[in-house]
Amino acid sequence: MRPTARHLITALSSAMLLSGCVRPDPMVISQPAPQQRVAAAPESEPATPKVALLDEEPEEDKAEEIAFYDLAQAFGLKVSIDLVTGRRVLRDGTNTVVVMPSTKHILINHRRFPLEGMIRWKQGTLFLPAESSAFLAEWLERRPLPQVAHDPELFDGSEPGLNDPLRRARTQPARAPRVSKATSLPSAWRINSNRRWRYIVIHHSATDVGGAKSFHASHKKKWTNGLGYHFVIGNGSSTGDGQVEVGPRWQRQNKGIDGAHAGNKRYNKYGIGICLVGNFNKGGRPTPGQLVALRRLCRALMSSYGIPARNVLKHQEVRRGHTDCPGKHFPMAAFKRSL
């Protein structure tokens, strides 16, 4: 029996419930994993509560696949089949997606997206690599950028220390043309990268304290290359408030080592992961020092690698339904306005 989209989403959710930045629902985490999901569950989740929860599925990719019809249904696409070529054409009125069995790419609105794996038949059902859903989400559900008008979360006057660049950004005349005054990366971190960085993905650590060193130790239990993020910005607990630490995956990026922060292969490969120490779901908020450092770092990275502001994303935007990282108190709208 073919699983329904709901089954699929449920299965993916449980398979990917590493969630990291977001503490999984305690009820879920306290339950033993269903037997059939054991293989996909993290096997070496750190047991101590003080370490950062992991953000990511293991680097050893599980070759997750999604049944074609479930994917189409999840995105509201109607399917037609070309009986001569065997290709499937999906449409939703404005978009067209072409899926050809036994190839390693899909066409979305005539644009070709190479996939990590093959589109293939299994037991009479056509399966696509799981990353296909990321492409579709990105291209078919592109959402508008946050509105500039009002962000009570940041500007309600109750927060100390918010007279920093973010507040100033709000009072600037509407969107002056961006003069490229971007700070550059410290030379030790400026890497003549052999990959095309396209995204910046922002995380919180979901811990009150910590820094690159402690997160590296906990991630090391699971991944050979340790710390999944490229950069960590301290909150004054283990490292300085606003102190930027660079991780080994950034330094070794030209050796083919990807990030392990997004829960999504595409964003791990082409997305720079920045983690702010803190839990911004439990009432905690980034410190002004962290926001200033984040802005500087983002602007430097955007400038160095040609990353547009629209590609600066919250983790939850690349991992919808699986995490609410970097937490509901992260002031994304205001932050993006400041870029």
Q: Which residues bind Zn ion (CB under 5 A)?
A: 21, 55, 203, 315, 325
Provide the 8-state DSSP code for 207: B
Beta strands in 196-323 (DSSP E): 199-204, 231-235, 241-246, 271-276, 312-314
Report in angstroms how near the CB of residue 14 gets to Zn ion at its nearest: 18
Q: In this complex, which beta carbon is closest to Zn ion, that of residue 25 or of residue 82?
A: 25
Report in angstroms how near the CB of residue 227 gets to Zn ion at its nearest: 13
Please give the full DSSP string across 260-288, using - where no structure is assigned: --SSSHHHHHHEEEEEESB-TTTT----H
H or E element that contains 71? helix 68-74
Report in angstroms how near the CB of residue 191 gets to Zn ion at its nearest: 22
Rounded Cα–Cα distance for residues 35 and 32 (Å):
8
Q: Which residues contact 304 (CB under 8 A, 6 or more apart)?
A: 184, 185, 190
Report in angstroms how near the CB of residue 302 gets to Zn ion at its nearest: 19
Q: In this complex, which beta carbon is closest to Zn ion, that of residue 119 or of residue 318?
A: 318
State the burial class of residue 170 (Cβ atoms within 10 Å of its Cβ: 0-12, 13-18, 19+): middle
Q: In this complex, which beta carbon is closest to Zn ion, that of residue 300 or of residue 325?
A: 325
Q: In this complex, which beta carbon is closest to Zn ion, that of residue 88 or of residue 322?
A: 322
Q: In this complex, which beta carbon is closest to Zn ion, that of residue 99 or of residue 275?
A: 275
- Tell me the two tokens of residue 189: 């971190």
Report in angstroms how near the CB of residue 261 gets to Zn ion at its nearest: 6
